[in-house]
Amino acid sequence: MKQCTHTDQIRDVHPHTKGCEECLKMGDTWVHLRMCLSCGHVGCCDSSKNTHATKHFHSSHHPIMRSIQPGESWAWCYVDEIVLE
């Protein structure tokens, strides 16, 4: 079974904002939110038109984003392409 090799980059972070940081600045909307587990950046998911969570990964190379939707506790490693429960 494939395992994430980036869990050592998870930090004790808190969301910087209550919504997608970039969408809030643009006055735009989002579908779901993801938080970077390296720095606390909040971005919108790939179902959102702006895909800011993925854009944050590409610009920062921070590998793991966690869903911050109520009732969800999973995370995604962009590098290993694996869900973390």
Which amino acid is present at 25?
A: K
pLDDT of residue 67: 98
Q: Does domain 7-84 have CATH number 3.30.40.10?
A: yes
Quick check: 42 and 21 in contact, CB under 8 A? yes
User: pTM of the full predicted structure?
Assistant: 0.95
pLDDT tens digits for range 25-46: 999 999 999 999 999 999 999 9
Averaged pLDDT, 3-30: 96
Angstrom distance (rounded) from CA 11 to CA 14: 9
Tens digit of pLDDT for each residue in 47-76?
999 999 999 999 999 999 999 999 999 999
Is the per-residue pLDDT at 5 higher than 90? yes
